[in-house]
Amino acid sequence: MSNVKRMWLLLRTVAILVVGGIIGAAYLGSVWLGLLLGFLVSLGLFLAFEARKGGGPGHDEYDDGARL
């Protein structure tokens, strides 16, 4: 992973956690709950972006996962 991509990943994660903390404090009554929701959103985005990369060597483009 390049340094630029790693920096954007860290900035996006920190931004989502800060927004989650603010939303948690303002609307949910608990900063920790907001941070937990922010962490889960950040983790979901990370997994989605990593799954999109796929298609490496040995990847069968016609395999939709329905076959055993």
How far is 45 from 8, CA to CA, in rounded Å? 13
| Residue 26, pLDDT score | 92
Query: Percent of the chain beyond pLDDT 90?
Result: 24
- CA angle 23/44/26 to nearest 5° reads 5
Residue pLDDT, tens place only, 46-64: 888 777 666 556 666 666 6
Whether residue 35 contacts residue 20, with contact meaning beta carbons closer than 8 Å, is answered with yes
Q: What's the pTM value of the predicted model, to 2 decimals?
A: 0.67
User: Tell me: the pLDDT tens digits for 15-35?
Assistant: 998 999 999 999 988 899 999
pLDDT at 67: 61
